[in-house]
Amino acid sequence: MPAGTDRHDGGVVDDGGADWAGYYASSAGREPRPLLLAACEELGAGQGRLAIDLGCGEGTDTLELLARGWSVLAVDAEPAGLALLRARIPPSAAAGVRVLCASFAEANLPPAQLIHAGFSLPFCPPQGFGDLWARIRRALAPGGVFAGQLFGTHDTWAQDPDLTFHARHQVEVLLDGLDILRLERLGRAPIRSGIEKRHGAAGPSLSVEGRPDTEPLSGKKGSPTMPAKNATTESGGFSAEERAAMKSRADELRAEGKKGAKKADGLQAVLDSIAEMAPEDRALAERVHVTVTAAAPGLSPKTWYGMPAYANADGKVVVFFQNAGKFSYRYSTLGFQDAANLDDGDVWPVSYALKKWSPTVEKKVAELVTAAIS
């Protein structure tokens, strides 16, 4: 499984820290992990048996398990992901799930027929991994299945002392005594997968898969074209003048050379991401784009986990737009990142719900963005 020149993708930005909010945003609407589905096929319908979704994130796999009749213990240390999960649990399934906000080290793992750890175990620090793995193995009920991923020692993040990486021979030690149903190594390919099972019909099982599908979204290269749909007529978003101005700006940037071309790509990626939104979201996103770029011309548009975002000279995202459709929310969101200077005493807002564009909203957005870059 591990080894090779693995990229550390999975949607976590490679900027020295795990950015789970962005990861969850990029995970919106994803399909359940194929390895989890394979484990479910192996075990049949849940019939109320217990599954643990360890490091469940925004909970897509927990929801899949519930839909397949499993009782689920969903564990994650990040309240933001758990909130997204809670919001999506159908009332009819609520009794079957326990959502536990706890670190791997703290979580009590009861006996379970299925333990899923989708791209989460490598985030356990090395000093805690042995204990965690021992508890996972103890929790696997006879005949149970583990499905999850590890990162290899050639992963691009392999130097990170806070994460755990395994060489092939170390994986074999971890799996000793388990029946292997699937064990795959991924290099640059997006999926590595496996399911392993303890020897004998009564033994627990274990499976190991690869990494998430792809890096979420990056700026698309190519000539600066406008969004495919005419946003002005469809959404009341960009005016013809604004479109022309953006095209000129992209042309200017490209003429500046390599650095400018990168910025033009960023701008194009933002326009593309806006063009893909549902009409109501697109209308808001277009006004946000126009307002942000006018209030803060020094910020460079680029996509951040597929969302329109605007970065400072250090490349740090200051402000981004999350469309309502991304998480089927009631509202879109204007979000500010750490680089935004909105500090106000010991507590201040960094996220704003956007429902409908108006002169008042425009003024507020412009003020916030101006303050953010001050």
Ligand X SMILES: C[S@@+](CC[C@H](N)C(=O)[O-])C[C@H]1O[C@@H](n2cnc3c(N)ncnc32)[C@H](O)[C@@H]1O
- Locate tokens 């870059």: which residue? 373
Q: Which is nearer to ligand X, 53 or 196 (CB)?
A: 53
Q: How far is the CB of 62 from ligand X (least distance, A)?
A: 9
Could you tell me which stretch among 74-82, 191-199, 248-256, 333-341 binds ligand X (CB under 6 A)?
Answer: 74-82
Give the integer Cα–Cα distance in Å for 187 and 3: 7
Which residues ranging from 3 to 22 are in contact with ligand X (CB under 6 A)? 10, 12, 20
Listed in sequence order, the residues at least 6 apart from 204 whose beta carbon sits closer than 8 Å to its beta carbon are 137, 140, 141, 142, 143, 144, 145, 146, 178, 197, 198
123 DSSP β-pair partners: none
57 binds ligand X (CB under 6 A): yes
Locate 256 and state its tokens: 């500046």
Q: Which is nearer to ligand X, 67 or 278 (CB)?
A: 67
E strands, 55-178, are 71-76, 97-101, 112-117, 140-149, 151-152, 165-166
- The 78-117 contact track toward ligand X, x by CB under 6 A, reads x--x---------------------xx-------------
Q: How far is the CB of 128 from ligand X (least distance, A)?
A: 7
33 binds ligand X (CB under 6 A): yes
Could you tell me which stretch among 49-57, 245-253, 283-291, 331-339 binds ligand X (CB under 6 A)?
Answer: 49-57
Listed in sequence order, the residues at least 6 apart from 38 whose beta carbon sits closer than 8 Å to its beta carbon are 147, 181, 182, 193, 195, 207
Give the integer Cα–Cα distance in Å for 373 and 293: 12
Q: Which is nearer to ligand X, 121 or 178 (CB)?
A: 121
* Residue 106 contacts residue 166 (beta carbons within 8 Å): no
3-state secondary structure of 49: coil
35 binds ligand X (CB under 6 A): no
Which residues ranging from 119 to 158 are in contact with ligand X (CB under 6 A)? 119-120, 123-124
- Chain residues binding ligand X by CB under 6 A are 10, 12, 20, 23, 27, 33, 55-57, 76-78, 81, 103-104, 118-120, 123-124
